[in-house]
Structure 1
Amino acid sequence: MRRFVQTVLGILFRHPVTGISIIPRLPDGQIVMIQRRDNGLWALPGGFVDWGESIPTTVRRELLEETGLELVEIQRLVGVYSSPDRDPRIHSICVVVEASVRGTIRPQDTLEVGKVRAFQPDNLPPPPLSHDSEQHLQDYFAGRTVLD
């Protein structure tokens, strides 16, 4: 039994977790971003994939929780970011997608999200952005699909 528990703990704590970041585009072309409560910085909405969820299900859930918006369609894969130092909290793999969204901005997770706002693509919040949101946006605007 002890060996089994050690194996399970090793799998859980020695492997990266999977998360998502979303570049949400409103019908008028604006990009929706959140201001995080933990560090006060602006970021793309997103979070960790829950057990039993697919990436599209996580995108739908995180959009609703953090912005109040509804997923219309995932437009494209921007990249998969796996560098061990990309997230200061934990080694995570982040799948970044562009998504068409609709609805009224109204975050449900007010413990994690301070503000939610739509920005014109040429008037996004200035750096620094939280985690590697700045890199995600640079790759997105350059039309790249990244495997890092």
Structure 2
Amino acid sequence: MNILAFFTVAIQSTRNLWRYGQTVLGIIFRHPIPGTSIIPILPDGRIVLIRRRDNGRWALPGGMVDWGEDIPNAVRRELMEETGLELAKIKRLVGVYSAPDRDPRIHSICVVVEAEVQGEMEIQDTLEVLEIKAFHLNSLPPEQMSHDHSRQLEDYLQGLTTLA
């Protein structure tokens, strides 16, 4: 095989590999990623929020559902990872939020739940969380929250179950 033939075959193989890679990436990234947000309620009725490291805004704890994991276990894991709190009970479904622009990083579908929690607040994931704080309903942060968490929290406070 001469050098020109070798490079022609190599280029064609690279193109085929790239097409295959594009197909796989398209399958992965053209589908929304499932996630969860938690509205953690302490025994005294306060709501726990985290301040995100990436944008400095207050947010509900939560994150992506891992492969092989269901929503209740993702809630339990994310709650512990971000706040150090333990899940006592999932109280209710607040909503499912699926707008393509709700998360600035990716298209994700977020299942939001109200949860009774217990334990001591302590940052576990210092790469994601700057601060944890419990708020009384009349003293929630007035500024816009991260992602669409202001809407999620408002829907919760209004007693709604939202599909958006």
- TM surpasses 0.5: yes
Structure 1 residue aligned with 2:77: 61
- Where do residues 29-108 of structure 1 align in structure 2 (5 Å cutoff)? 29-108=45-124
Residue 12 of structure 2 is matched in structure 1 by: none
| Amino acid in structure 2 at the alignment position of 1:109 | D
Alignment: residue pair count = 148
Instruction: Quote the residue 1:116 is aligned against.
Output: 132
In the alignment, structure 2 segments of 5+ residues that lack a partner are 1-15
Please state how far the C-alpha of 1:9 moved relative to its aligned partner. 2.3
Alignment map for 1:127-142 (pairs within 5 Å): 127-142=143-158
Q: Provide the rounded CA distance (Å) in 1 between the counterparts of 2:20 and 2:161.
A: 39
In structure 2, what is the equivalent of residue 25 of structure 1? 41
Higher helix share: 2
What one-letter code is carried by the residue in structure 1 that aligns with 2:112?
V
**Pairwise CA RMSD of aligned residues?**
1.3
Separation in 2 of the partners of 1:102 and 1:75?
14
- Identity, in percent, stands at 67
What is the SS of the residue equivalent to 1:47? strand
**Alpha-carbon shift at residue 126 of structure 1 (Å):** 1.4
Partner SS, residue 69 of structure 2: coil
Alignment TM-score, normalising by the size of structure 2:
0.86
What TM-score, normalized to structure 1? 0.95
Task: Report the 3-state secondary structure (helix = DSSP H, G, I; strand = E; otherwise coil) of the residue aligned with 2:153.
Answer: helix
The letter for the 1-side match of 2:151 is: Q
CA distance, structure 2, for counterparts of residue 89 and residue 6 of structure 1: 20
Aligned amino acid, residue 86 of structure 2: E
The Cα of 1:4 is off from its aligned counterpart by: 6.1
Which amino acid in structure 2 is aligned with residue 84 of structure 1? Answer: P
CA offset digits 1:84-130 (Å, max 9, x no partner): 11111111101000000000001110110000010001111112111
